[in-house]
Amino acid sequence: MRIIVIGGGASGVIAAIYAKNESNEVILLERNDKLLKKLLITGNGRCNFMHENYSLEDYHSQNKEYLEDFILEKHIDDVKYFFDSIGIVSKNRNGYIYPFSNQANTVRDALLREIKKKDILVYYNSYVSSIRKKNNQFLIHTDTRDYYCDKIVLATGSYAYPKTGCDGSGYDLLKDFGHTIIKPLPALVQLVSNFPYCVEWDGVRCDVELTLEENQEEIAKEVGELQLTDYGLSGICTFNLSHYVARGLEENKKEVIKINFVPFIETIITPWMDRYSKKNLDKNLSELLEGFLNKKIIPIILKCSHLKANISYEHLTNDEKIALCKNLKGLPIEITGTKGYDNCQVCNGGVNLHEINMETMESKLEKGLYVTGELLDINGNCGGFNLTECWISGMIAGKCLGEME
């Protein structure tokens, strides 16, 4: 067979490697002048190329039931075996798997060597504008030439981070074959707020618990380091909530994140504050809060609680104590938007999984068409989960084609 893989990112490259055998001709079409461009910026250039965890809780989809036979331990083991087989020595940091070199180039170069060893043809600067089925073959039109093939793996990526060449063109190609595209929205992205004190807290990093409320109903929690910015919120725990927020805002829902600045207080906060203040009777309210809050946060908490900095905690009324404790434990921040596709790492949404055979990644609507990677309606949390999904989907498609008689 002649197999053409469209898209030289993570899922496309691994699909090509597995699809190539003694009788299959495999061609890889890449719109950039190099392969795996996005991989090079993963993990700030250190490339956490997968995560050892395979829990469904770390993945999201509008049709999550289809992930039960996709996110499996055997698939994770296959990915680990593959990278070991191509010479990647890895290290584990709290479940994040990095190359021991801490360099994305290590992973990229190993994959490129496999492409070369397998004699896979790569055509760069090839932008696919249309695909048609003709006489049981696919006709692929690019801006430089046309190609015929028997099977196609579509791995063009989402709208996320267009600087790497992603423009969502694969969605339109899939629509031409009748596929339903769940609107892709930014995920793993910073969140924008109209909170009046963002400029004052800019640059603060703190360990918190975040609670996301949608139309006043709690829908998700995250614990971790929060980065406070002049436009709103950033950091891993923010990123992991962002796909809910983007989808909710698209549906005109009110999105509020409550920041718990004292996650170490697991009991009711008011009695804890009463005990803490009695040990520090010589301190005013601002000095008291310096014991556990960043100095930039303290005036913001006091303003939101309508309290003065030089007053003693002991002199607060019961209602004032409640207001202070409420903001310490859950300062409400209304989210008005995200930082968009230019800054998001992946998208939430994509081709409806109902239309894909998840055991082979073949389209149920067009025989011979396979879909992998970020085009699928699957997105994961921070930590290598999204690359893991790309490796798995590309590997499944490639194995299916490579073993086909």
Q: Bigger pLDDT: 10 or 44?
A: 10
- Residue 94: the pLDDT is 87
- Residue 245: the pLDDT is 98
Q: Answer yes or no: is pLDDT of 405 > 80.
A: no
Q: Which tens digits make up the pLDDT trace of 73-124?
A: 999 999 999 999 999 999 999 889 999 999 999 999 999 999 999 999 999 9
- Residue 54: the pLDDT is 82
Q: Which residues contact 108 (CB under 8 A, 6 or more apart)?
A: 35, 36, 39, 40
- Residue 62: the pLDDT is 96
- Percent of the chain at pLDDT > 70 equals 100
CA dist., res. 242 & res. 328, Å (int) = 22
CA dist., res. 194 & res. 129, Å (int) = 40
Strands annotated E in 116-180:
121-123, 128-134, 137-142, 146-149, 151-154
Q: Which tens digits make up the pLDDT trace of 159-203?
A: 999 988 889 999 999 999 999 999 999 999 999 999 999 999 999
- Residue 366: the pLDDT is 97
- Name the nearest CA neighbour of 288 among 306, 272, 267: 272
Q: Reduced to 3 states, what is the DSSP secondary structure of residue 166? A: coil
CA dist., res. 108 & res. 37, Å (int) = 9
Going 273 to 274 to 280 to 285, the CA torsion angle's sign is positive
Ramachandran bin of 167, using left for φ above 0, alpha for ψ from -120 to 50, beta for the remaining angles: alpha
Structure tokens given for 262: 């004292």
Q: Which residues contact 205 (CB under 8 A, 6 or more apart)?
A: 225, 226, 227, 228, 235
**All structural domains of the chain with their residue ranges:** 2-186+347-402, 190-339
- Residue 64: the pLDDT is 95
- Residue 318: the pLDDT is 96
- Which residues make beta-bridge pairs with 92? 97
Residues 2-186+347-402, CATH architecture = 3-Layer(bba) Sandwich (3.50)
Q: Write down the pTM of the prediction.
A: 0.95
Please return the burial class of 394, using the count of CB atoms within 10 Å of its CB with bins 0-12, 13-18 and 19+.
buried
- Residue 134: the pLDDT is 86
- Residue 402: the pLDDT is 97
- Percent of the chain at pLDDT > 90 equals 94
| Average pLDDT of the segment spanning 386-398 | 97
Q: Answer yes or no: is pLDDT of 265 > 80.
A: yes
Q: Answer yes or no: is pLDDT of 396 > 90.
A: yes
* Cβ atoms of residues 143 and 50 within 8 Å: no
Q: Which tens digits make up the pLDDT trace of 211-237?
A: 999 999 999 999 999 999 999 999 999
Going 261 to 262 to 267 to 273, the CA torsion angle's sign is negative
| Average pLDDT of the segment spanning 281-301 | 97
- Residue 44: the pLDDT is 85
Q: Which tens digits make up the pLDDT trace of 311-347?
A: 999 999 999 999 999 999 999 999 999 999 999 999 9
- Residue 43: the pLDDT is 85
Question: Mean pLDDT over all residues of the chain?
Answer: 96
Task: Give the pLDDT band (50/70/90) at residue 52.
Answer: confident
Q: How far is CA 341 from each of CA 156, 173, 300, 328, 389, rounded to the nearest angstrom?
A: 15, 20, 31, 32, 20
